[in-house]
């Protein structure tokens, strides 16, 4: 393990949290099983990937040969692996919103020079509940067709995976080790400088560029120009202007994959990686299945109550004090309702409802769209039959529900609530519509 700088430490801790919550083990297991069985649509559904294309329509419009190419790629698409590697943003490591990423180009048989792209899209930030990804075909001749209210329907030059199929295609996932240059990584930087020249050649060949230079974007204000005319050399470039027409080195080629750094820093072990990633980065590793985190040691916890150590645990579906009989518990609850002091055991149960210790992890699961995992954590904490009391936990669950309504409106094209309103305004209007609908 090498010593981390403050920036490296923050960034890698962020990625460690992403790996813990963003692609849950249950998703990987379900999506993998369906993909292996040949059910690519079921695999996409398991990985919360919406399919916005119709292969029959593609065949009618562009020919059966192109439709067959798209179908073959969809059959080998590992949507959980795509989610694992998809571009993300801080501070919570959520999917980069409003993004269109090219996965594969196809040349139509009509002789057109413009390729049709299989793309993956994320909704704008205001509709990002559930952290869903959608698949579609993008045509240069019809740049906004089928994109609905998406803010950037065309493929992004910086974020492209058509040159990095190993990040989503199960057939080529094993290339990750070689493409990341693990054996040649100097380990003192998160920049993949050792791979830039080789990756730049792939970009220039794919874009059929005669000029032997590519732009490397390091930040919003700093760009470099990599010149391959003779011996590769790097020169500073202005953020905009003369670099705009040059090909751009994709982000996936600019930086060392976070999993490589996490392994090197000792912040993750191979068993917590996606199985396809672990097989590529740790040759010979025998995975026990899908990644997972240590399970709960049980719900029982100790409380100092009136000079004795008592236990609270889930009984008959709800969190309850184990060392007080039901009659005593009912008397104490009545006393509290009348304004009296509560038993420490009952105080601990109330605190678990309103401000649970696991709220940070539950919120992370909700932010990353893992509603099932969040509800399972709540059930594990408070019991499956619990009636939530007012407090931070209930507020988080209600907020997640409201954001899911916004995503549904975006998907159905009802963007009148849309992107021009503040999030608070949109939530207020959603609540008003829900009240109106339920009052009729």
Give the residue, 81 or 311, on which the prediction is more confident. Answer: 81
Within a domain: residue 373? no
Contact 130, 407 (CB under 8 A): yes
Please give the residue range of the domain that contains residue 201: 179-261
pLDDT band at 7 (very low <50, low <70, confident <90, very high): low
Cross-strand bridge partners of residue 50? 134
Q: How many domains does the chain have?
A: 2
Within a domain: residue 251? yes
Q: What is the CA radius of gyration of the chain?
A: 26
Secondary structure (DSSP) of 136-176:
EEEBTTBTTTT-TT-S--SPPSSSB-TT-GGGTBGGGGGGH
Secondary structure (DSSP) of 61-74:
HH-HHHHHHHHHHH
Looking at the fold, whether 255 and 308 belong to one and the same domain comes out as no
Give the residue, 8 or 199, on which the prediction is more confident. Answer: 199
Within a domain: residue 47? no
Looking at the fold, whether 256 and 328 belong to one and the same domain comes out as no
Looking at the fold, whether 257 and 307 belong to one and the same domain comes out as no
Within a domain: residue 45? no
Nearest alpha carbon to residue 246 among 229, 220, 227, 219? 227
Least confident segment among 215-224, 262-271, 285-294, 326-335: 285-294
- Indicate the pTM of the whole model: 0.82
Q: What is the mean pLDDT of the chain?
A: 85
Write down the pLDDT at residue 437.
45
Within a domain: residue 245? yes
Write down the pLDDT at residue 117.
96
Within a domain: residue 209? yes
Residue where a domain terminates, one of 232, 261, 290: 261
Say if residue 292's pLDDT is above 60: no
Within a domain: residue 129? no
pLDDT band at 316 (very low <50, low <70, confident <90, very high): confident
Within a domain: residue 344? yes
Give the residue, 361 or 332, on which the prediction is more confident. Answer: 361
d(CA 425, CA 203): 44
Q: Looking at residues 4-15, what average pLDDT do you find?
A: 77
pLDDT band at 304 (very low <50, low <70, confident <90, very high): confident
Write down the pLDDT at residue 336.
78
Looking at the fold, whether 306 and 256 belong to one and the same domain comes out as no
pLDDT band at 438 (very low <50, low <70, confident <90, very high): very low
Least confident segment among 57-61, 382-386, 392-396, 406-410: 382-386
């Amino acid at each position: 393990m090498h010593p981390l700088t403050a920036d490296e430490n923050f960034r890698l801790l962020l990625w460690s949290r992403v790996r813990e919550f963003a692609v849950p083990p249950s998703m990987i297991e379900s999506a993998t099983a369906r993909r292996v069985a040949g059910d690519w649509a079921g695999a996409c559904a398991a990985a919360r990937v919406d399919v916005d294309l119709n292969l029959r329509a593609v065949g009618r419009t562009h020919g059966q040969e192109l439709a067959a190419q798209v179908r073959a790629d969809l059959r080998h698409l590992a949507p959980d692996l795509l989610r694992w590697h998809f571009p993300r943003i801080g501070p919570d490591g959520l999917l980069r919103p409003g993004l269109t990423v090219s996965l594969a180009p196809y040349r139509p048989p009509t002789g057109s020079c413009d390729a049709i792209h299989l793309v993956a899209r994320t909704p704008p930030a205001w509709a990002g509940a559930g952290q869903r990804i959608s698949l579609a075909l993008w045509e240069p001749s019809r740049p906004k067709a089928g994109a609905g209210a998406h803010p950037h329907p065309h493929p992004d030059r910086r974020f492209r995976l058509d040159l990095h199929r190993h990040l989503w295609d199960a057939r080529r996932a094993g290339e990750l080790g070689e493409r990341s240059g693990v054996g040649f990584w100097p380990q003192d930087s998160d920049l993949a400088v050792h791979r830039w020249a080789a990756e730049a050649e792939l970009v220039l060949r794919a874009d059929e560029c005669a000029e032997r230079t590519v732009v490397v974007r390091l930040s919003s204000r700093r760009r470099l120009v990599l010149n391959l005319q003779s011996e590769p050399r790097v020169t500073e470039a202005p953020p905009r202007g003369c670099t705009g027409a040059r090909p751009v080195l994709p982000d996936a080629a600019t930086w060392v994959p976070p999993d490589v750094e996490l392994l090197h820093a000792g912040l993750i072990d191979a068993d917590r990686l996606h199985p396809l990633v672990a097989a590529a980065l740790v040759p010979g590793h025998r995975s026990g299945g899908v990644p997972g985190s240590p399970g709960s040691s049980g719900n029982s916890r100790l409380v100092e109550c009136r000079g004795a150590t008592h236990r609270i645990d889930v009984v008959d579906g709800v969190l309850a004090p184990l060392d007080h009989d039901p009659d005593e518990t009912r008397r104490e609850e009545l006393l509290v309702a009348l304004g009296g002091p509560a038993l420490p055991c009952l105080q601990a149960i109330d605190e678990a409802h309103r401000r649970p210790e696991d709220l940070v992890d539950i919120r992370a699961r909700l932010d990353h769209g893992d509603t099932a995992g969040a509800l399972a954590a709540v059930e594990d904490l408070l019991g499956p039959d619990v009636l939530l009391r007012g407090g931070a936990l209930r507020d988080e669950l209600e907020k997640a529900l409201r954001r899911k309504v916004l995503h549904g409106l975006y998907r159905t094209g009802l963007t009148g609530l849309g992107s021009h309103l503040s999030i608070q305004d949109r939530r207020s209007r959603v609540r008003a519509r829900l009240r109106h609908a339920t009052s009729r």
